[in-house]
Structure formats: structure tokens, C-alpha cells
Amino acid sequence: MLKIKNKFNTERDISGCGLCGIINAKKVKTNGSDIKKAISVEHDRGNGLGGGFAVYGNYPDYADLYAFHIMYDNLSAKSDVEEYLRNNFIIEKEEPIPTFKTAKIYDHPYLHRYFIKPKSDRQDKLFHDLEDDDFVVNSVMLINQNYDGAYVFSSGKNMGAFKGVGYPEDVADFYRLEEIEGYMWTAHNRFPTNTPGWWGGAHPFTLLDWSIVHNGEISSYGINKRYLEMYKYNLALRTDTEVITYILDLLIRKHKIPVRLALSVLAFPFYNKIDKMENDKKMLFTALRQVYGSALLNGPFAIVFGYSGGMVAMNDRIKLRPLVAASNGDFTYVASEEAAIRAVCQSPDMVWSPKAGEPVAVEFDDIKEKTSLKGGLLSL
């Protein structure tokens, strides 16, 4: 229980942080050494109590399967969860997540991964007719809530989260990220202020293909949480990152709101700007604020959000946290500090500081071609 669940009686976890993201629009893969180098420049933005990475494109051989990364406090939790998985999923492959002893990461939980897909005749089908994605979300919430000593920290396809307690560069060594290849990376260095060493609380937070790294404190957490609970989300972790992930899941996956608009919900334009828009647009944004007002993330944040279609980085509506972006050929970099980008890309084509509430959104080229035919559902 000590390692993966938050044992502190707090309504939620608060932390300051550093973050980085690297994406190649053509899906050219790089190994984890660049992201490690970049985030290590932001060493002082964390305090050694949480570091983590998300990588996309790292499981090409199992790209159609949900890759569950689960941390266990003990082996009895493992056998309980595995019984649940066996009853509901076809498990194609399972193995311990490869880790390497380092002096700086110690006392870690048992880390295991499973490549699985929901059974078509699972018991659950008697009561619901859930899509696979919904069933996976429900299963993740169920395990995290009801199975003591077990925590699913990654559940997407062809992507994975690797995180733990420690500085991110040490976590990178622990998982030996230089041996992993992917076309999109995000990284996080955590500075928690009220919850020491807690493996589950490290970033990125992921759900299906969503992964979020986040620097900030959501001052509207209370209402964001209650809003999500109305849609049956179970906010077990009590972290801001969890709230952001679920809001995006609700808006983009469940309500099918175009990504660009969903992002504007997180950092609504001010009414004085909306009032000056032309009529259709004004109606659209007024309606968005009326309907999704409780989903607005108020308070300081910079987030980097990865999904199967690309990467988005953005700030809150008055830019209370740092965020810098740079592009170099097909690569786009985002980070809390420009120095982190310069560490891996000395002279980018362009470096800029995104405006408050305006997302830096990069889509993979193959997605762009596909979606332009569909009327731009994901047009960014």
C-alpha cells in the first residue's frame, strides 16, 4: 500500500513540476535518450519524488492490443487482478516490465505488463453492450478502485507509461529508456508539496491512448471533479492530472468534440473576446461555455497531452506557468524551459512561447491525410 496508493488523507494531490515533449510528425522513431537529456536539464523543477515518461509507437508487434502496465504492492494483489483479467480479457502476452537496478531507484513495486483485448463473450456483456474502449476504461477504474495493492498506470495501444518515484533521469535509467523506441515522447519531473513518495502519483497519467503530463494546480478542481462524477468517472487518484485526462476523455472520446474545441474548453476564451467574434462563432463559444463551464480548468497549468493522433501542449487562460515550443523539421519540441529543448536540439528552426490558452497542436502526417477526408473531425 505504501508504494502505489496515496496514503495521505488529502482531497487531492498538489505539485509543481517540469515537463517536456518531443514528437516527430512523420513517425520517425527515436530512442529515449533525447527525452531523458531534455528533462534532466529541468532537474531543479522536481524534488525527486516523481518522474515519468510516456512513449508512443513502442509496441509495434502488439499494436492492436491494449498494453496494460500494472504496479503491484504484493503478489497476492497480482493474482487477484490476473484472475479478473483472465475472466474478461484474452491475454496474448504477459511479462515483467524490464527494469534495471540503479542506486537511485529503490523500494519499487512489482511492475508487470499485459498485452490484452476484451473477450467478446465477457460476463459483462450480459448487462451492457459496451465498446471495447469503454470496457477497458471501466476495468481500469475498477482495478484501481477495488483491488488493494494494484494500480493500472498505462492502458493504451502501442504506447506505454514508465514512471516512478525519483528524478526522471534516474527513472529513465531504471526502465533503460535508451533501449525503447518511439515517435512521440513526453516526460515529467514532479515537485509534490503534500504527498511524498508515491509511485501511482507520478506522471504521466494515462487512460487508453491519452497521456498527460502537467505542471500546475487546478484551482477549479472541486467542480471539475464533481462534474466528472456526474458522468460516472471515478476520481480515485485525486490528482489534477487525472481530472484533465478524464475531461479530455469525456469531451473528445465520449462527446466527440473536435480536439481544437475540446482544448478551448480547458482554457475558454474570455467573454470580452467571444462578444467580438462573428455571429456563428460567438454562438458556438457561448454555447460551449454554457454547457461545459464546469469543465474549464481554472488556475495555473501547462500540460502536454499525447494521444494516438498527435500531441498538444497548452497553457491556462492567463498563462500562469511556463511553456516553450520549438520546431525543427518534422520534430516539434515543447518544454517548461527553453534550455531543455536546446539541450537536444541546439538550433531549432523556430522557438516560441505559446500564448495563454492557445494550444500548440501537432498531428501525425498520416492522421492528417485520413481526417481531412472526414470533414476535419480532428483538424487542428
Residue 17 annotated as catalytic = yes
123, 127, 280, 347: which one binds another protein (CB under 8 A): 280
Q: Which is nearer to another protein, 87 or 194 (CB)?
A: 194
> For another protein, which stretch binds (CB under 8 A), given 23-31, 134-142, 216-224, 358-366?
216-224
Q: Nearer to another protein by C-beta: 299 or 354?
A: 299
Q: Spot the catalytic one: 4, 17, 150, 161.
A: 17
- Out of 35, 288, 302, 340, the only residue in the binding site for another protein (CB under 8 A) is 288
Q: Which is nearer to another protein, 10 or 76 (CB)?
A: 10
Applying CB under 8 A, the site for another protein has a residue count of 54
- Check if the beta carbon of residue 154 is closer than 8 Å to that of residue 67: yes
Based on the shown chain and the rule CB under 8 A, indicate whether residue 120 belongs to the binding site for another protein.
Answer: no
Confirm if 52 and 187 have CB atoms less than 8 A apart: yes
List, as one string, the DSSP characters of 183-236: SEEEEEEEEESS--S-GGGSSPEEETTEEEEEEE--TTHHHHHHHHHHTT----
User: What residues numbered 361-380 form the site for another protein, per CB under 8 A?
Assistant: 372, 375-377, 379
By CB under 8 A, what part of segment 220-249 binds another protein?
A: 220-223, 225-227, 229-231
Q: 259-278: which residues touch another protein (CB under 8 A)?
A: 260-261, 268, 270-272
Query: Furthest-apart CA pair in the chain: how many Å?
Result: 61
Q: Is 176 exposed, middle or buried (0-12, 13-18, 19+ CB in 10 A)?
A: middle
Name residues contacting another protein, limited to 184-203 (CB under 8 A). Answer: 193
What CA–CA distances, in Å, run from 370 to 25, 367, 376? Answer: 14, 5, 9
Least spacing, CB of residue 141 vs another protein, in Å:
17
Min dist. Cβ of residue 227 to another protein (A): 8
290 binding another protein? (CB under 8 A): yes
Q: 10 Å Cβ neighbour count for 349?
A: 10
User: Which three three-digit cell numbers place residue 261?
Assistant: 474545441
Going from the C-alpha of 182 to that of each of 35, 319, 358, the distances in angstroms are 11, 30, 26
C-alpha cell, 154: 498505462
Pairing, β 30-31 against β 181-182 = antiparallel
- Give dist(CA 140, CA 30) in Å, integer: 29
Of 5, 214, 317, 342, the one binding another protein (CB under 8 A) is 317
Helix (H) or strand (E) holding 360: strand 360-363
- On whether the CB atoms of residues 233 and 332 are closer than 8 A, the answer is no
Residue 372 near residue 379 (C-beta atoms within 8 A): yes
Q: Is 283 in the site for another protein (CB under 8 A)?
A: yes
Closest CA to 51 of 202, 178, 195: 202
Nearer to another protein, 145 or 193 (CB): 193
Map the footprint of another protein across residues 20-79, applying CB under 8 A. none
Q: Which residue in 300, 306, 357, 359 binds another protein (CB under 8 A)?
A: 300
Q: Which stretch binds another protein (CB under 8 A): 124-132, 163-171, 195-203, 212-220?
A: 212-220
Where in the sequence numbering do the catalytic residues fall?
17
- Binding residues (CB under 8 A) for another protein: these are 9, 11-12, 14-16, 193, 216-217, 219-223, 225-227, 229-231, 254-258, 260-261, 268, 270-272, 280, 283-284, 287-294, 296, 298-300, 317-318, 320, 372, 375-377, 379
